[in-house]
């Protein structure tokens, strides 16, 4: 998790990405955002299976453009994901006893395990 000051820097970079007029500007801001937010990686290997040591300044030499865009989106959604996780783990305020009882009385479909 990034501290607030780093989130501000990351937000400025993503704003720059959104406002970019050229493809080069978009790519530069995307890689800059990744460099700012990426703190490590696991299971990154060369085609020959050799492990790639972490270096956030070299992501543009390792990742495809598609992977870079997905990673930038994941960085931006990181905080949202943590909040959603907390919400999903908290108990609902509504009474679900009636809906559970109704669901238990109805037949349900079963899937065939693969």
Banded model confidence at residue 108, pLDDT cuts 50, 70, 90: very low
Number of domains observed in the structure of the chain: 1
Residue 18 has pLDDT above 70, yes or no: yes
In the prediction, which pLDDT does 37 show?
83
Distance CA 37, CA 18 (A): 17
The answer to whether residue 104 sits within a structural domain is no
Calculate the dihedral angle through the C-alpha atoms of 67, 46, 42, 82, rounding to the nearest 10 degrees.
0
In the prediction, which pLDDT does 74 show?
85
Name the token pair of 15. 């704003």
> Which residues does 68 contact at the CB level (< 8 Å), separation at least 6?
27, 30, 31, 34, 59, 60
The answer to whether residue 109 sits within a structural domain is no
Q: Using one digit for the tens of pLDDT, what is the confidence trace for 65-99? A: 899 889 888 887 775 545 555 665 666 555 555 55
The answer to whether residue 105 sits within a structural domain is no
Residue 113 has pLDDT above 50, yes or no: no
The residue assigned the tokens 């890689």 is: 31
The answer to whether residue 92 sits within a structural domain is no
Residue 20 belongs to domain spanning: 4-81
Q: Using one digit for the tens of pLDDT, what is the confidence trace for 54-64? A: 998 888 988 89
Distance CA 56, CA 67 (A): 14
């Amino acid at each position: 998790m990034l501290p607030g000051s780093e989130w501000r820097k990351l937000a400025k970079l993503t704003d720059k990405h959104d406002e970019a007029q050229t493809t080069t500007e978009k790519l530069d801001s995307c890689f800059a955002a990744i460099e700012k937010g990426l703190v490590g990686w696991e299971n990154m290997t060369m085609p020959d299976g050799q492990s790639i040591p972490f270096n956030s300044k070299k992501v543009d030499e390792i990742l495809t453009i598609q992977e870079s865009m997905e990673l930038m989106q994941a960085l931006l959604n990181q905080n949202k994901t943590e909040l959603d996780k907390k919400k999903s783990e908290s108990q609902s305020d509504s009474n679900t006893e009636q809906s559970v009882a109704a669901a238990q009385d109805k037949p349900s479909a079963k899937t065939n395990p693969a």
